[in-house]
Amino acid sequence: MKLDIADTKALSEIPPNSVIAYLRSHGWAPIRVENEVGFFHKEIDGESAECDVPLRQSVRDYPRRIREILENLTLIEGRSQYDIYQDLVRTNQDIVRISIDVPESGRVGLDEAGVLFWATRELVLAAACSAHAHRAYFPRRKPPRAVEYVRHVNLAAPEAGSFVVVLESPLPSSFAQPQASGMSSESLEDEPFERKVLLTLATAGMIVRQSIGISTVRGSVDRFAEHVEAGVNANYCDALATMLEEGPGRDVSIAFPGRRLARSPVQYPRS
């Protein structure tokens, strides 16, 4: 959706910590603080870019400066202001967008939609199981930690697109709010379980996409079993197969807006 955010009230309600958390999660590094303004740096295509964030929400020109940040991020990321704004107000969450092709009418049957939502849940649950323990298959009784995580994942309001399921994965407040003097990114070992689940979802997704073609050439599914340690399991493959098979000639794309999760959407083309 291409929409410029010009509402002063909406802009003024975005707190500085949300902007800072967003920048850090997208690879921007804090470099200094001057006159209640935080400065962030990032290398983009070999060039140096800088972003300044007002740290006091009550200053008169705060909405204008937030809008300038939105405009700059739109140019840098190639995404709409609306999408970036939505991510800014969700800084205590990781976002996953699963896009599924539907007929030109833009509609799917109620039964089919139910299957797609069920498969989405199973896909996320499979990733949560692998984030807890690496196994080739998880039987009916899943690890309680994985089940509890799925219970806290929210389904956001629908977005424009073919059939877009937007998931909001919560993050601990201590992780979502950055440290004022923090200059380095957290290591994978320091990631909370909620983030590990989505990292597993992204990694497994990329491996499965690559393995589909290789397995087709080999005429064997052994390739999938080689990547159990990376989060690939039979439950994940079954859920993805359900999405692909529910409609003829279907494309499925799994996108992770946060750069640390995946650089681009994981796409499973028509077969």
- Same domain (yes/no): 76, 97: no
Residue 255: what pLDDT?
A: 86
- Asked, for residue 187, whether it belongs to a domain, the answer is yes
Distance, C-alpha 116 to centroid of its chain: 19
- Asked, for residue 130, whether it belongs to a domain, the answer is yes
- Asked, for residue 264, whether it belongs to a domain, the answer is yes
Tokens for 127, please give them.
């990733």
- Same domain (yes/no): 70, 117: no
- Same domain (yes/no): 78, 108: no
- Asked, for residue 2, whether it belongs to a domain, the answer is no
Cα within 13 Å of Cα(58), Cβ side: 0
- Same domain (yes/no): 214, 105: yes
Q: Among candidates 120, 118, 170, 173, which has minimal Cα distance to 148?
A: 170
Q: Cβ distance 178 to 21 under 8 Å?
A: yes
- Same domain (yes/no): 116, 188: yes
- Asked, for residue 1, whether it belongs to a domain, the answer is no
- Same domain (yes/no): 151, 182: yes
Q: Among candidates 211, 213, 235, which has minimal Cα distance to 136?
A: 235
Which ranges of the chain have pLDDT less than 50?
176-188, 216-220, 259-260, 263, 271
- Same domain (yes/no): 107, 79: no
Domain hosting residue 136, numbered range? 93-268
Residue 154: what pLDDT?
A: 92
Residue 148: what pLDDT?
A: 96
- Final residue of a structural domain among 73, 88, 103: 88
Residue 135: what pLDDT?
A: 93
- Final residue of a structural domain among 88, 118, 138: 88
Query: What are the φ and ψ backbone dihedral angles of 73, each rounded to 5 degrees?
Result: -65, -35
- Same domain (yes/no): 55, 167: no
Alpha-helix runs per DSSP H in the chain? 8-12, 16-25, 62-77, 81-88, 110-132, 144-151, 173-176, 193-218, 222-225, 234-245
- Same domain (yes/no): 223, 264: yes
Name, in order, each residue with C-beta under 8 angstroms of 128's C-beta and a sequence gap of 6 or more. Answer: 143, 145, 146, 147, 149, 150, 197, 200
- Same domain (yes/no): 18, 77: yes
- Asked, for residue 12, whether it belongs to a domain, the answer is yes
- Same domain (yes/no): 64, 106: no
Q: Among candidates 256, 264, 201, which has minimal Cα distance to 232?
A: 201
Residue 121: what pLDDT?
A: 96
Quick: pLDDT tens for 89-130: 877 788 888 888 776 666 778 888 898 899 999 999 999 999
- Asked, for residue 44, whether it belongs to a domain, the answer is yes
The total number of structural domains in the chain stands at 2
- Final residue of a structural domain among 20, 54, 88: 88
- Same domain (yes/no): 104, 23: no
- Asked, for residue 234, whether it belongs to a domain, the answer is yes
